[in-house]
Amino acid sequence: MRSTAVAILIVLANVGLAQAADEKADPRAVDYCKATTGTFVGVAECLPDAHVAVKTLDAFEKLYPAAAQTLREKCAERNKGNTVGTSVCVTEAIRAALDLKKALPTGSKLDDPVFEAVSDTALSEKLDQAREAAKAAFPNQRMWGGSSYMPYR
């Protein structure tokens, strides 16, 4: 019985990986790369990070409450059309909020609705899972993960 359950889980995991590997780049990422690079080589280099950025921002919008959306909007405004920069801005601000929350004394409040909305560890873990799932669309390419960006202020 146990070996059957393990076999089923392995099959389901392999199906999930195969589906992720069959995923194509998000058209918004392609458009972003075409607009910001000059050649097909530039698009090819840009696409993995842009795809992950688009999918990360989509997941953020779906997962986080309305109060958190101010973070996304401000990051987009500060990064002026830089999709990858916007995504990095959002994820770095979340990381800073989580670090700050750990450092604050128990019961402390900042009276900042954005901080309260984005400093949720469970939501951050789900966002990380969405990022990892987006990376699976480019299994043979290393994601740089860094980008020039304007941080949240």
The CB density around residue 33, as the number of other CB atoms within 10 Å, is 23
pLDDT per position as a tens digit, 95-113: 999 999 999 999 888 999 9
DSSP state of 138: S
- The residue among 128, 139, 150, 130 whose CA lies nearest residue 48 is 139
Q: How far apart are CA 49 and CA 119, in angstroms?
A: 24
State the pLDDT confidence band at 129, using cuts at 50, 70 and 90. Answer: very high
pLDDT in tens, 52-85: 999 999 999 999 999 999 999 999 999 998 999 9
Work out the pLDDT band at 9, boundaries 50, 70, 90. Answer: very low
| pTM score | 0.81
* Rounded distance between C-alpha atoms, residue 137 and residue 25, angstroms: 7
